[in-house]
């Protein structure tokens, strides 16, 4: 019980209202260019060159229930070997990010980029918690596996420390890829372009759908993520 209280103190207290601030702070530290001009953040480059992480691709589960994993300490961690249809252990060093390659083929580029950003948030914001947990538990390797399913926010009272940290990473990651400092500029440009777009003028595509698709393509995120972000920032009706 005492160890749980000690660990709980290392869970960052981040509210939803602070997600944009956290994303901006991350970019200010590791890729400030993305705050100055609209661009697709080269998140894997940030992970490797700015955070010093080793990014590797391995299937993590047989049923594709985990997209990514952040290894905070060195040792052995489990992956799924599809060729031999079995789980096995591989040796990892501290700061190893494992991304399931099927995140790209079974989902899209945006999902893979979001997963990388998600794991970066874990490394920056939650590393101390997990390193301390490793010392308390005596484990040689402690990893944070990020599932495909999101936690139900209606049951926050029952959330564990891990649930809270996963929620934080889920909220901050897309804001790193689509910072509030530049999304408005991109939206306004696309809004002007939509008024002279021949497909929209011919009623072949709704302007809102076209703008969402263009934002997704520009920032290299999923269309769903782009739509959610535009609504959060008030550029589209909720």
Strand pairing class (86-92; 75-81)? antiparallel
The token pair that represents 115 in the structure block: 């997963």
Asked if residue 74 lies in contact with residue 141, where contact means CB atoms within 8 angstroms, the answer is: yes
How many angstroms separate the CA atoms of 121 and 169, rounded?
6
What average pLDDT does the segment 46-53 reach? 98
pTM exceeds 0.75 for this model = yes
Q: Measure Cα distances from 71 to 107, 108, 172, 215 in Å.
A: 23, 24, 19, 32
Residue 112 clears pLDDT 80, i.e. is over it: yes
pLDDT at position 3 is 61
Q: To 10 degrees, the CA torsion angle through 169, 170, 176, 181?
A: -120
What average pLDDT does the segment 10-33 reach? 95
pLDDT at position 136 is 79
């Amino acid at each position: 019980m005492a160890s749980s209280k000690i660990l709980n103190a290392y869970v960052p207290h981040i509210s939803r209202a602070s997600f944009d601030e956290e994303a901006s702070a991350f970019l200010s530290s590791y890729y400030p260019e993305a705050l100055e001009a609209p661009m697709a953040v080269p998140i894997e480059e940030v992970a490797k060159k700015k955070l010093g992480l080793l990014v590797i691709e391995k299937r993590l589960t047989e049923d594709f229930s985990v997209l990514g994993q952040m290894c905070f300490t060195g040792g052995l961690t489990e992956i799924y070997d599809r060729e031999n249809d079995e789980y096995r252990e591989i040796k990892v060093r501290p700061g190893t990010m494992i991304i399931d390659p099927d995140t790209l083929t079974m989902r899209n580029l945006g999902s893979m980029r979001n997963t990388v950003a998600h794991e970066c948030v874990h490394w920056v914001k939650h590393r101390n918690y997990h390193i301390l947990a490793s010392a308390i538990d005596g484990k040689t390797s402690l990893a944070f596996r990020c599932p495909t399913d999101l936690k139900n926010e209606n049951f926050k009272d029952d959330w564990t420390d891990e649930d809270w940290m996963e929620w934080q990473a889920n909220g901050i990651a897309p804001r790193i890829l689509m910072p509030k400092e530049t999304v408005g500029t991109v939206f306004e440009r696309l809004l002007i372009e939509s008024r002279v777009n021949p497909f929209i003028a011919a009623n072949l595509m709704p302007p809102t759908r076209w703008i969402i698709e263009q934002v997704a393509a520009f920032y290299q995120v999923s269309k769903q993520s782009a739509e959610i972000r535009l609504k959060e920032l008030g550029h589209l009706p909720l």
